[in-house]
Chains A and B, each alone.
Chain A
Amino acid sequence: MKRANWFDYFQLAFLIITPIVVLLLPADYFDVGPVLCPSKRFFDIECLGCGMTRAVMHLVHLDFDSAIYYNKLSFIVAPVLGAYWLLWIRKVATSMYKARATD
């Protein structure tokens, strides 16, 4: 007999709370801070992922100008992340539902 374990509940809580926290934080929350990318830090060359966190954060807050400014690829990455998030929720929810049904 399979039961929904604590990890399933943890995953579901994480998946639901994370977007809420991201939406509640101000759009410019990640705009200031040290440069973490080694490519930018040592060679002063931006890699394809540079600015992605800031860009996605602005995109989530529907600030398209800033999003395209920080990283234009965010317009591809953010929907992919969104789709992956939905699929992950569906997977966890299905797993929990099946576990309950077998109880």
Chain B
Amino acid sequence: MKQFILSALCVLFLGGYASAEITPKPVKMADLSSATDVQAIDPKLMQMGMDQFLSLTPAKYKEVTGKRLGLKNSLALKAAQAKVKHEIQKGKSPASGGDLPQGLYILLAVLGCGWLAMGLLSGWEGRDWIINLIIIGVPIVIGSFFCLLIPAIGWLAALIHALIKMPDYYRN
């Protein structure tokens, strides 16, 4: 039993690390719709590279420009970074709804097959479907030995994950 649990945990962590290897495509700041938010903070930020902007903090800003960012702009910077990141991730997902109707996506998610819907919509690329499969799969396997409550918790977590990720696939 110990070996089995250890193997399941290994699969969980290896899956997480393997999926983290996917690298984003290079995107220019000016091409993004959130560029206006970035420009509102400081127009000089538009000249930054994407990675540099995403890792920018008020301390780094002060280092580069010699000026304080201020409380309001610090909050705006964080919001802009989240927007830019979200936009890049949206751009990464190849499908925008695909052939799978939204109702069927929800039904599959409720039935514990959210990973199937995500996989079909993303062309089995990205890490969403892997994460969803791990969330529902591991508790089912472990729970079948111990207690039925564990798969139920896994099912609920997988359902929440699938619903959180749904806007990424049906953004239009």
Residues of chain A at the chain B interface (Cβ within 8 Å): 27-28, 31, 41-45, 63-66, 68-69, 72
Contacts and interface: CB of A to CB of B under 8 A. Distances in A.
Interface stretch (B30-38, B73-81, B101-109, B144-152): B73-81
Interface in B91-150: 131
22 contacts: A28-B59, A31-B57, A41-B16, A42-B131, A63-B58, A63-B59, A65-B58, A65-B59, A65-B68, A65-B69, A65-B71, A65-B74, A66-B57, A66-B58, A66-B59, A66-B74, A68-B71, A68-B75, A69-B58, A69-B69, A69-B75, A69-B77
A65 B75 CA distance: 8
Interface in B32-84: 57-59, 62, 68-71, 74-75, 77-78
A68 B71 CA distance: 7
B164 interface: yes
A72 B77 CA distance: 13
Contacts of A65: 58-59, 62, 68-71, 74
B161 interface: yes
A66 B77 CA distance: 11
A52 to B, nearest CB: 14
A94 B69 CA distance: 45
Contacts of B78: 69
A43 B62 CA distance: 31
Contacts, number: 38
B9 to A, nearest CB: 14
Contacts of B70: 65
Given A43-B131, A45-B164, A65-B69, 18 more contacts: A27-B59, A31-B57, A31-B59, A41-B16, A43-B164, A44-B89, A63-B58, A65-B58, A65-B59, A65-B68, A65-B70, A66-B57, A66-B58, A66-B74, A68-B74, A69-B74, A69-B75, A69-B77
A75 B154 CA distance: 35
Contacts of B161: 43
Contact of A42 (B16, B69, B71, B77): B16
Contacts of A43: 131, 161, 164
A44 B131 CA distance: 11
Nearest to B89: A44
A41 B127 CA distance: 12
Contacts of A45: 164
A35 to B, nearest CB: 11
Contacts of B74: 65-66, 68-69
Nearest to B81: A69
A48 B128 CA distance: 22
